[in-house]
């Protein structure tokens, strides 16, 4: 077998072992292999099944071999058979057949479960195949029963701890506290939060199981208690974003698993069948399927599309909230050109009361007045007859523009909303623009509108004592429906206390505050355009050492653009007309790429001098070991750094500077400054990140484009 094939196979096997307990690193999977070898018969049966599974998947050219996706169910089939029968040629044949069937079942059921509700297949193929081959094995006279060594007569650590570790070892059909200890160490090294969920889930599940069973037989707890652990880890740490609500869900899931375990034992043992992972599967899949039927909620968020370790999920969630606000809030663009002021905000004292509390009224004010001359006519008002733009993409479902505009100071209380447009969004919510000018609507019912498209003119129809524009998001297509939270995005926001406006992705301006839509700087946007195949080479001076580093842009199978470093670290990014934003770092620590992210991680692509804020991960900051220990003690689940940015044109290039601060215990802090110099049509030509104890400077040597079909390569040396 070629070395590369052997490496790929080994990597797939190790990742398959690790994925059973949600570990991502192959070496932790290797630790789990070692744990199964505490009972060699079981361990070698599992290895055989894993190798057969990965070779089958490779032969049939299934995707994602390196992830172990198609292998861990085969592996579990082998472990289950090795736990009950002696490993010989007859069992090897049965393991081979079971492993092959498990690969097919995994591929087929994975697609079915995804279509059913985007839920994971988990170990469902294993349970189906293992029960099938176990029933078949009962009729084979050539298989000899394998008797596990006697349980240790002395406790390893403590009676209760040993019971937990033994149950954890049974997840790999190795019910022994030493095996469980190795597995638990692997969990701790993967995620401390998962380790906490494992312990808490076992305590809750075991307590209820003992209550239901009276005095359960120790062997039943040893063999089936892992279900409580896996349910807690899956529901509280992998498929939800960690929170108080997700922790409660995990504990409730463990209790449900205990009930199903007690019921399953009564039924399965009649037929001489092991319970295996049936309670884990039933509980996890039922709960996740039920949760997919909920409306959007900011309190308990599923991660079925992108399951990840809890520390990663909470970091991504924290960054998303810092940039985009609460999950359920609908982002909308300002529906106008120029700078407008908030006439009435959320929970406004005049008309924005429940159930219409989520609404904004806009008008234009100059030197404290909304009109010129004496304000007697509508034409005196600054905002009257100005264009109204679509804040969203959607379909027009209702419109009215036949009502006359009110004389200033008068209102039409019979037609509160006046002339209006109602737009249906893709998520089933609706956006209302109200008090429009008579006979000014330019779109038809059923027409599709784009963000920024001119729809009508600002007026003073309906309940409007002076010209202004009303905006809200609502449930249902009936005028006056209950409103839904929303926010303005990619705006310049200025409060009366601020001298300059600040760029924000999430803004809910209050009465008297001003907002405007910034104008895109096309030259800046093109200079920072990171197309697929873009390559950059930098000379990096880091702590007195100089080296050449490379960055390149790829597009993964999920359609995600990623900026990749030559160290193997990468980061996803989005490049819109008015914004360049990076998120979701993967790979080993890379101070050069982290400096790039601190300097350019969130970059508005708009004209003029501007300021903004962000909260990148604290992992980007270079720290001394003392600072690292203090940061982990203070923020065990991580935290966002307080980052403040400022950009201006500096004669021949843009100068983007930033300050990044992280507070630590005992009035200590980590503070750094970053500077990015962006040259027109070239890109980021220089990055600096420094404080008194750290200094990194990167200078662009070369930027180019990799050749593709129909696209020639090019290269520019700087």
DSSP, residue by residue, 165-232: HHHHHGGGT---HHHHHHHHHHHHHH-HHHHHHHHHHHHHHHHHHHHHHSS--HHHHHHHTHHHHHHH
Q: Is there a single domain that holds both residue 469 and residue 384? A: yes
Cβ atoms of 327 and 298 closer than 8 Å = yes
- Rounded to whole angstroms, how far apart are CA atoms 278 and 260? 8
pLDDT of residue 682 exceeding 80, the answer is: yes
462 HSE (CA, 13 A, CB side): 21
- Rounded to whole angstroms, how far apart are CA atoms 300 and 244? 9
- The 10s digit of each residue's pLDDT in 466-478 is 999 999 999 999 9
pLDDT of residue 1 exceeding 60, the answer is: no
pLDDT of residue 503 exceeding 90, the answer is: yes
Cβ atoms of 190 and 22 closer than 8 Å = yes
- Please count the residues of the chain: 718
Residue 271: predicted pLDDT: 64
Classify residue 170: in a domain, yes or no. Answer: no
Classify residue 133: in a domain, yes or no. Answer: yes
Q: Is there a single domain that holds both residue 686 and residue 547? A: yes
Classify residue 60: in a domain, yes or no. Answer: yes
50 HSE (CA, 13 A, CB side): 33
Residue 670: predicted pLDDT: 95
Residue 567: predicted pLDDT: 95
Q: 450 pairs with which residues across the strands?
A: none
Average pLDDT over residues 257-277: 80
What is the average pLDDT value for the chain, to the nearest integer? Answer: 90
pLDDT of residue 649 exceeding 90, the answer is: yes
Q: Is there a single domain that holds both residue 11 and residue 133? A: yes
pLDDT of residue 700 exceeding 90, the answer is: yes
Average pLDDT over residues 684-711: 92
Domain that includes residue 232, residue range: 191-308
Average pLDDT over residues 449-462: 96
pLDDT of residue 65 exceeding 60, the answer is: no
Classify residue 641 by burial, with Cβ atoms within 10 Å: 0-12, 13-18, 19+. buried
pLDDT band, residue 153 (cuts 50/70/90): low
Q: Is there a single domain that holds both residue 512 and residue 534? A: no
pLDDT of residue 550 exceeding 80, the answer is: yes
Question: Which residues, 6 or more positions from 651, have their beta carbon under 8 angstroms from its beta carbon?
Answer: none
pLDDT band, residue 505 (cuts 50/70/90): very high
Alpha helices for 304-425 (secondary structure H): 310-324
pLDDT of residue 67 exceeding 60, the answer is: no
Residue 171: predicted pLDDT: 93
Looking up tokens 């990623």, which residue turns up?
A: 562
Q: Is there a single domain that holds both residue 379 and residue 475? A: yes
pLDDT of residue 6 exceeding 80, the answer is: no
Q: Is there a single domain that holds both residue 512 and residue 527? A: no
Helix-helix angle 89-117:124-137, to 10 degrees: 150
Whole-angstrom CA distances from 441 to 400, 401, 424, 448, 450 are: 8, 6, 17, 14, 15
User: What is the sign of the dihedral through the CA atoms of 477, 478, 483 and 486?
Assistant: positive
Residue 699: predicted pLDDT: 97
Q: 565 pairs with which residues across the strands?
A: 551
55 HSE (CA, 13 A, CB side): 11
pLDDT of residue 270 exceeding 70, the answer is: no
Question: Which residues, 6 or more positions from 660, have their beta carbon under 8 angstroms from its beta carbon?
Answer: 598, 616, 620, 621, 641, 642, 643, 670, 671, 672, 673, 674
Number of Cβ within a 10 Å radius of residue 200: 18
Classify 570 as helix, strand or coil: strand
User: Which of 516, 541, 557 is the last residue before a domain boundary?
Assistant: 516
pLDDT band, residue 688 (cuts 50/70/90): very high
Q: What percent of the chain has pLDDT over 90?
A: 66
User: Which of 488, 516, 544 is the last residue before a domain boundary?
Assistant: 516
Q: Is there a single domain that holds both residue 475 and residue 537? A: no
Q: Is there a single domain that holds both residue 582 and residue 687? A: yes
What backbone phi and psi angles, to 5 degrees, belong to 674? -130, 145
- The 10s digit of each residue's pLDDT in 519-548 is 999 999 999 999 999 999 999 999 889 999
Average pLDDT over residues 338-344: 93
pLDDT band, residue 69 (cuts 50/70/90): low
Q: What are the DSSP E strand ranges found in 491-544?
A: 491-494, 502-504, 514-516, 534-542
- Rounded to whole angstroms, how far apart are CA atoms 548 and 530? 20
Classify residue 366: in a domain, yes or no. Answer: yes
Classify residue 316: in a domain, yes or no. Answer: no
Looking up tokens 């209702």, which residue turns up?
A: 398
Helix-helix angle 40-59:3-20, to 10 degrees: 120
Cα 513 off chain centre by: 32
Which among 327, 283, 246, 296 has a CA at the least distance from the CA of 119? 283
Which among 536, 571, 553 has a CA at the least distance from the CA of 685? 536
Q: Which of 280-294, 337-351, 557-571, 628-642 has the lowest mean pLDDT?
A: 337-351
Q: Which of 119-128, 247-256, 345-354, 514-523 has the lowest mean pLDDT?
A: 345-354
Question: Which residues, 6 or more positions from 259, have their beta carbon under 8 angstroms from its beta carbon?
Answer: 208, 212
Classify residue 359: in a domain, yes or no. Answer: yes
pLDDT of residue 597 exceeding 80, the answer is: yes
Cβ atoms of 382 and 340 closer than 8 Å = no
Classify residue 314: in a domain, yes or no. Answer: no
- Please give the tally of structural domains in the chain: 4
Looking up tokens 């926001």, which residue turns up?
A: 493
- Rounded to whole angstroms, how far apart are CA atoms 44 and 581? 48
Q: Is there a single domain that holds both residue 571 and residue 653? A: yes
Residue 711: predicted pLDDT: 79
pLDDT of residue 160 exceeding 90, the answer is: no
Residue 297: predicted pLDDT: 52
pLDDT of residue 488 exceeding 90, the answer is: yes
User: Which of 516, 534, 554 is the last residue before a domain boundary?
Assistant: 516
Residue 66: predicted pLDDT: 53
pLDDT of residue 191 exceeding 60, the answer is: yes
Q: Is there a single domain that holds both residue 9 and residue 145? A: yes
Average pLDDT over residues 23-44: 93
Q: Is there a single domain that holds both residue 20 and residue 92? A: yes
- The 10s digit of each residue's pLDDT in 214-257 is 776 667 777 888 999 999 999 999 999 999 999 999 999 999 99
118 HSE (CA, 13 A, CB side): 10
Q: Is there a single domain that holds both residue 355 and residue 469? A: yes
Q: 642 pairs with which residues across the strands?
A: 661
Cβ atoms of 125 and 109 closer than 8 Å = yes
The kind and range of the H/E element at 36 are helix 26-36
Classify residue 165: in a domain, yes or no. Answer: no
């Amino acid at each position: 077998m070629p070395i590369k094939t052997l490496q790929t196979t080994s990597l797939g096997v190790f990742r398959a072992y690790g994925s059973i307990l949600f570990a991502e690193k192959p070496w932790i999977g290797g630790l789990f292999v070692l744990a199964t070898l505490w009972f060699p018969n079981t361990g070698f049966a599992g290895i055989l099944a894993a190798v057969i599974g990965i070779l089958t998947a490779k032969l049939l050219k299934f995707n994602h071999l390196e992830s172990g996706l198609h292998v861990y169910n085969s592996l579990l089939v082998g472990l289950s058979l090795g736990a009950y029968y002696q490993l010989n040629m007859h069992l090897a044949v049965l393991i081979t057949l079971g492993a092959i069937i498990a690969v097919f079942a995994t591929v087929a059921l994975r697609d079915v479960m995804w279509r059913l509700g985007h839920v994971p297949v988990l170990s469902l193929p294993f349970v189906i195949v293992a029960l099938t081959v176990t029933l078949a094995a009962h009729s084979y006279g050539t298989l000899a029963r394998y008797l596990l060594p006697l349980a240790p007569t002395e406790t390893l650590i403590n009676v209760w701890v040993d019971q937990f570790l033994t149950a954890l070892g049974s997840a790999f059909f190795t019910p022994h506290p030493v095996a469980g200890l190795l597995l638990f160490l692997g969990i701790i090294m993967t995620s401390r939060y998962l380790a906490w969920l494992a312990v808490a889930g076992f305590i809750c599940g075991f307590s209820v199981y003992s209550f239901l069973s009276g005095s359960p037989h120790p062997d039943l707890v040893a063999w089936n208690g892992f279900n409580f652990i896996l349910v807690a880890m899956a529901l509280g740490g992998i498929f939800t974003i960690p929170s108080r609500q997700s922790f409660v869900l995990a504990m409730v899931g463990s209790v449900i698993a205990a009930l199903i375990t007690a019921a399953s034992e009564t039924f399965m043992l009649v037929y001489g069948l092991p319970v295996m992972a049936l309670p884990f599967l039933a509980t996890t899949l039922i709960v996740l399927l039920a949760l997919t039927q909920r409306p959007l909620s900011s309190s308990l968020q599923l991660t079925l599309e992108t399951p990840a370790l809890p520390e990663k999920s909470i970091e991504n969630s924290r960054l998303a909230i810092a940039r985009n606000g609460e999950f359920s809030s609908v982002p909308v663009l300002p529906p106008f050109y120029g700078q407008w002021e908030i006439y009435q905000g959320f929970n406004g004292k005049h008309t924005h009361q429940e159930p219409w509390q989520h609404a904004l009224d806009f008008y234009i004010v100059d030197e404290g007045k909304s009109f010129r001359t004496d304000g007697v006519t509508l034409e005196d008002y600054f905002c009257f007859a100005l264009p109204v733009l679509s804040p969203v993409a959607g379909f027009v479902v209702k419109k009215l523009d036949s009502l006359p505009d009110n004389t200033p100071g008068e209102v039409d209380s019979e037609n509160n909303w006046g002339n209006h447009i109602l737009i249906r969004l893709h998520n089933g919510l609706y956006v209302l623009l109200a008090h429009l000018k008579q006979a000014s609507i330019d779109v038809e019912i059923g027409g599709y509108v784009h963000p920024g498209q001119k729809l009508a003119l600002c007026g003073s129809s309906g309940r409007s004592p002076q010209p202004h524009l009303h905006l809200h998001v609502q449930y249902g297509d009936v005028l006056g429906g209950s409103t839904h939270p929303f926010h303005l995005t990619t705006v310049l926001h200025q409060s009366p206390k601020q001298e300059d406006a600040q760029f924000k992705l999430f803004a809910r301006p209050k009465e008297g505050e001003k907002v405007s839509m910034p104008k895109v700087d096309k030259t800046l946007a093109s200079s920072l355009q990171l197309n697929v195949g873009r390559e950059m080479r930098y000379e990096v001076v880091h702590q007195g050492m100089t080296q050449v580093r490379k960055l390149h842009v790829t597009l993964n199978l999920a359609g995600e653009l990623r900026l990749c470093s030559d160290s193997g670290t990468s980061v996803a990014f989005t490049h819109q007309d008015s914004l360049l934003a990076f998120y979701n770092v993967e790979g080993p620590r890379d101070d050069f790429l982290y400096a790039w992210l601190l300097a350019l991680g969130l970059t508005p692509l708009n004209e003029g001098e501007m300021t903004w804020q962000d909260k990148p991960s604290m992992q980007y900051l270079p720290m001394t070991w003392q600072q690292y220990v203090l940061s982990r003690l203070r923020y065990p689940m991580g935290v966002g750094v307080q980052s403040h940015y400022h950009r201006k044109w500096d004669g021949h290039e843009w100068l983007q500077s930033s300050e990044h601060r992280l507070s630590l215990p005992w009035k200590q802090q980590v503070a750094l400054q970053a500077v990015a110099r962006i040259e027109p049509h070239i890109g980021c030509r220089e990055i600096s990140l420094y404080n008194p104890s750290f200094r990194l400077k990167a200078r662009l040597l070369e930027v180019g484009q990799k050749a593709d079909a129909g696209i020639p390569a090019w290269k520019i040396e700087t």
